[in-house]
Chains A and B, each alone.
Chain A
Amino acid sequence: MRFGFIKRHSATLIVYIILAVLILATSILSDVFLTFRNLENLLRQVAPLGFLSVGQTFAILTAGIDLSIGSVVSMASCLTTGLILSREPLVFPVLVLVIGLALFIGFINGMVISKTGVHPLIVTLGMMSVVQGGILLYTRSPYGSVPISFDFIAWGNVWKIPFSIIMFAVVAAVSVVFLRLTVFGRYVYATGGNEEVARLSGIKTGRVKVIVYMICSFTAALTGIFLASRMGMGDPLVGERYMLDSIIPVLIGGTRLTGGRGGVVGTIAGIFIFTILSNALNLLDVSAYWQWIVEGLVVIVSVSFYFRQKG
């Protein structure tokens, strides 16, 4: 019985072993790595990518993908700073508006994908362009400002722990519970595993997808708001690199692009591997271009490893 458990979760265990080895190796190679300042810095870097990758995990589990989240991040960051303009009473209503708008974009993504059957890659790529265009019409250069209290999201601490990592922990934990224990979570796996079987089993797969893309956009809004707080200003291009970066931890974490297998627990390890890797290469003074090369190789190696595991 115990052995069965280990076997069934072997892929996830391996990701965590790799993460442990990476932490060990980095702390040997760099004496700065384990300092309090570096760890705090590292944990602050986890949040923006972390939210997105958790969202992306949902989309990929349904055999889809969301390429529009990068532009939603940019939108959220610009609108947050641009509408608040340092007026503290406006913080709450603006955040509600920004999150609402993001959810609406996710809703449209999901509706188009489930009603037309067009591949999510195409639909969300189109949406990316629409949203990016819209935000560039709003502002072409970094814009807006936030009140000092707003800094807390990115820079605040609770009992010496960065607030953002607590926020990430909450998002991650809720997602794990959602996917593992709820009926909806089961439907996500069934839809991604075999949509026709899911549909014939009475699951409204269209609705599942709409919710999944709304979750994606929601996490993108969180990242946008976080970045607005970190920079104190909205940047219309800040989300660009997240479009592809958000996918990498999901794949490293063992979620299959073909859907139905994997989960947020693996993605969390993937996020830390990705973040620690770039932190380590930074500490070791490796050029940013080398970092690209290493990250690319990690993706290819890990994904081909899962492929050899037969699906």
Chain B
Amino acid sequence: MLALDKVDFSCNTGEVHAVVGENGAGKSTLMKVLAGAYRPDGGKIMLKGKEISFSSPREAQRHGISIIYQEFNLIPDLTVAENIFLGREPQKQMGFIDKKMLYERAKELLENLGVHIDLDVRVSELGVAQQQMVEIAKSLSLKADIIIMDEPSAVVSGKELESLFRIIETLKESGKAIIYISHRIDEIFQIADKATVLKDGKLVGTVDTSEVDKPTVVRMMVGRNLSEAFPSRGKAGEKKEVLELKNVTRDGILKNVSLNVRAGEILGIAGLVGAGRSELARVIFGADPIDRGEIILNGKRIKKSTPKHSIASGIGYVTENRAHDGLVHSLSVRKNLTLPILDRIKKWFFVKEGQEREFSKGCVDRFNIIAPSIEQEVRYLSGGNQQKVILAKWISIKPSLLILDEPTRGIDVGAKSEVYSLMRRLAEQGTAILMISSELPEIIGMSDRILVMHDGEVMGELFPEKTSEEQILMMATGQEGKTPGEE
């Protein structure tokens, strides 16, 4: 499969051009090609009428193309001004840094942007939104004509997003070309002049946002009706409670979280980045300790939980950052699959390898994992197949509670619906599922109930048939739901 298949794309000065599409549509790949991080296998890039090619991000920078990733490239222990001019510090004789000049020029840049950030504050002390501003100032200092922003709204929201939009306007007026990557339709209509829609690595089309309406763009993005994407819900019966949390608190991270999940139910946890959702998952799994409160699993109060106990009592946990903490990359498919259940397939001290092989082959067949052999080290597998190994690893412990943190992040659209039907099947077989997701359609489409978190607290419970993306967002940004301090 091609990550990007013969896509035409053009952008003019003084224009905000949105690139939209679902996860896995090829947005990021396109941007990385433009920014010099990937080399295209075919096709041309023209800049101001001239054909160019670059082999590194640095070369792309020299051509005036700058990219702002979701994860910023800032050095936490340097100040704002030092970060803006990192690697390009104005110098006096003998290579000493001209601090005065450095601060003057940084000040000028930030003033032009109309933002107020102390220049001599260390970046680690800034909030995410302010860090984003520093990144923008940095790309301006590079004399960038084209600024690519990779899903900026994934990290900021509300008022901060508004001020980001104002800055984008300023940049646009000064003749810069802005390429704005997002999958959020509302934003695009608010900020962009044009939108290019990608799907499965192919170009669907480019439209003027003034000439089309939102549903048109959604149809282009999805290529089908949204409701088709999710398997239908099972009947909600009175099933037994698998997990209950009572006022669980982890100081500074989780505040009085209470919730319950029943067998056969998918509980969706919505919220913005930093709302404490993954931290909640870790606490339930016993990966982190709690300071106060009670966790009750299958009717029994858990005193001190560890991952080992959790697995033994039937909790599976698919983490969010699967590239980093999903698999042991130096071990084979077989050895990864059996890691949580090695205790169950041993005789004395020894692993029963025959049984282990049989088990692994079963997993490979059942989850359609494509690998040359179960002895292949997982680092040689494709991203999608690595994900399948992770899911197989946890589902095969036959969990009574399965925690899925962003289950469809980083996988393509086809694989997404596979994951959805898998989740539904598990629920029908009686597994309780706790699903954390930042994708609102997924939250609404998959959950039987929705909890919205903000700042370490549960803001409220919603039902998918009686709520909207807007309402969830209002709660997630703390503008609706319970007031601070209330129990």
> Which residues does chain B contribute within 8 Å of A197, judged by CB atoms?
325-328, 339
What is the CA–CA distance of A261 and B332 in the complex, to the nearest angstrom? 11
A186-B335, A198-B339, A199-B307 known; A181 vs B328 contact (CB < 8 Å)? no
Partner of B287, one of A194, A200, A260, A261: A200
Asked whether any CB of chain B lies closer than 8 Å to the CB of A218, the reply is no
Q: Determine if B373 and A1 form an interchain contact, defined as CB atoms under 8 angstroms apart.
A: yes
What is the CA–CA distance of A196 and B326 in the complex, to the nearest angstrom? 9
What is the CA–CA distance of A200 and B322 in the complex, to the nearest angstrom? 12
Q: Determine if A261 and B330 form an interchain contact, defined as CB atoms under 8 angstroms apart.
A: yes
In the complex, residue of chain B having the shortest beta-carbon distance to the beta carbon of A258: B330
In the complex, residue of chain B having the shortest beta-carbon distance to the beta carbon of A4: B373
> Which residues does chain B contribute within 8 Å of A200, judged by CB atoms?
285, 287, 307, 317, 319, 325
Supply 7 A–B pairs (Cβ within 8 Å), ascending by A.
A1-B373, A4-B372, A182-B351, A183-B343, A187-B342, A200-B319, A202-B340
Q: Least Cβ distance of B329 to chain A in Å?
A: 7
A4-B372, A190-B328 known; A183 vs B349 contact (CB < 8 Å)? yes
> Which residues does chain A contribute within 8 Å of B335, judged by CB atoms?
186, 189-190
A189-B330, A194-B329, A203-B308 known; A181 vs B375 contact (CB < 8 Å)? no
What is the CA–CA distance of A198 and B339 in the complex, to the nearest angstrom? 8
Asked whether any CB of chain B lies closer than 8 Å to the CB of A140, the reply is no
* A158-188 at interface with B (beta carbon < 8 Å): 181-184, 186-187
Q: Determine if A4 and B307 form an interchain contact, defined as CB atoms under 8 angstroms apart.
A: no
Q: Least Cβ distance of A75 to chain B in Å?
A: 30
Asked whether any CB of chain A lies closer than 8 Å to the CB of B350, the reply is yes
What is the CA–CA distance of A190 and B335 in the complex, to the nearest angstrom? 9
Asked whether any CB of chain A lies closer than 8 Å to the CB of B7, the reply is no
Q: Determine if A194 and B351 form an interchain contact, defined as CB atoms under 8 angstroms apart.
A: no
Q: Determine if A260 and B328 form an interchain contact, defined as CB atoms under 8 angstroms apart.
A: yes
**What's the dominant secondary structure at chain A's contact region?**
helix
> Which residues does chain A contribute within 8 Å of B372, judged by CB atoms?
4
**What's the dominant secondary structure at chain B's contact region?**
mixed
Asked whether any CB of chain A lies closer than 8 Å to the CB of B311, the reply is yes
Q: Determine if B339 and A311 form an interchain contact, defined as CB atoms under 8 angstroms apart.
A: no
When each residue 246-268 of chain A gets 1 if its CB lies under 8 Å from chain B and 0 otherwise, what string results?
00000000000000110000000
Asked whether any CB of chain B lies closer than 8 Å to the CB of A304, the reply is no
Q: Least Cβ distance of B318 to chain A in Å?
A: 10
> Which residues does chain B contribute within 8 Å of A308, judged by CB atoms?
none
Q: Determine if B308 and A202 form an interchain contact, defined as CB atoms under 8 angstroms apart.
A: yes
> Which residues does chain B contribute within 8 Å of A201, judged by CB atoms?
307, 311, 339-340, 393
What is the CA–CA distance of A201 and B326 in the complex, to the nearest angstrom? 10
B-contacting residues of A (Cβ < 8 Å)? 1, 4, 8, 181-184, 186-187, 189-190, 192-194, 196-204, 260-261, 311
Asked whether any CB of chain A lies closer than 8 Å to the CB of B312, the reply is yes
Q: Determine if B350 and A260 form an interchain contact, defined as CB atoms under 8 angstroms apart.
A: no
Given A194-B329, A194-B330, A202-B311; 17 other pairs, CB 8 A cutoff: A4-B373, A181-B350, A181-B353, A183-B346, A183-B349, A183-B350, A189-B328, A189-B330, A190-B335, A190-B339, A193-B331, A194-B328, A202-B306, A202-B310, A260-B330, A261-B330, A311-B379
In the complex, residue of chain B having the shortest beta-carbon distance to the beta carbon of A200: B307
A186-B335, A200-B307, A202-B312 known; A193 vs B343 contact (CB < 8 Å)? no
Q: Determine if A189 and B331 form an interchain contact, defined as CB atoms under 8 angstroms apart.
A: yes
In the complex, residue of chain A having the shortest beta-carbon distance to the beta carbon of B326: A197
Q: Determine if B329 and A204 form an interchain contact, defined as CB atoms under 8 angstroms apart.
A: no
What is the CA–CA distance of A8 and B335 in the complex, to the nearest angstrom? 14
What is the CA–CA distance of A181 and B342 in the complex, to the nearest angstrom? 12
> Which residues does chain A contribute within 8 Å of B330, judged by CB atoms?
189, 192-194, 260-261, 311
Q: Determine if A190 and B331 form an interchain contact, defined as CB atoms under 8 angstroms apart.
A: yes
Q: Determine if A4 and B375 form an interchain contact, defined as CB atoms under 8 angstroms apart.
A: yes
Q: Least Cβ distance of A285 to chain B in Å?
A: 43
Partner of B351, one of A183, A192, A196, A204: A183
Partner of B342, one of A4, A183, A192: A183
> Which residues does chain B contribute within 8 Å of A181, judged by CB atoms?
350-351, 353
A194-B327, A198-B328 known; A203 vs B351 contact (CB < 8 Å)? no
Q: Least Cβ distance of B398 to chain A in Å?
A: 14
What is the CA–CA distance of A8 and B333 in the complex, to the nearest angstrom? 13
* B106-158 at interface with A (beta carbon < 8 Å): none
> Which residues does chain A contribute within 8 Å of B326, judged by CB atoms?
197
> Which residues does chain A contribute within 8 Å of B319, judged by CB atoms?
200
A196-B325, A197-B328 known; A186 vs B342 contact (CB < 8 Å)? yes
What is the CA–CA distance of A34 and B236 in the complex, to the nearest angstrom? 80
What is the CA–CA distance of A198 and B330 in the complex, to the nearest angstrom? 12
* B377-415 at interface with A (beta carbon < 8 Å): 377, 379, 393
In the complex, residue of chain A having the shortest beta-carbon distance to the beta carbon of B322: A197
Q: Least Cβ distance of B400 to chain A in Å?
A: 15
In the complex, residue of chain A having the shortest beta-carbon distance to the beta carbon of B318: A200
Partner of B350, one of A182, A193, A194, A202: A182
Q: Determine if B351 and A8 form an interchain contact, defined as CB atoms under 8 angstroms apart.
A: no
Q: Least Cβ distance of A203 to chain B in Å?
A: 7
What is the CA–CA distance of A192 and B310 in the complex, to the nearest angstrom? 22
Q: Least Cβ distance of A306 to chain B in Å?
A: 12
Q: Least Cβ distance of A197 to chain B in Å?
A: 5
> Which residues does chain A contribute within 8 Å of B340, judged by CB atoms?
201-202
> Which residues does chain B contribute within 8 Å of A186, judged by CB atoms?
335, 339, 342, 351
> Which residues does chain A contribute within 8 Å of B325, judged by CB atoms?
194, 196-197, 200
What is the CA–CA distance of A305 and B319 in the complex, to the nearest angstrom? 34
* B341-382 at interface with A (beta carbon < 8 Å): 342-343, 346, 349-351, 353, 372-373, 375-377, 379
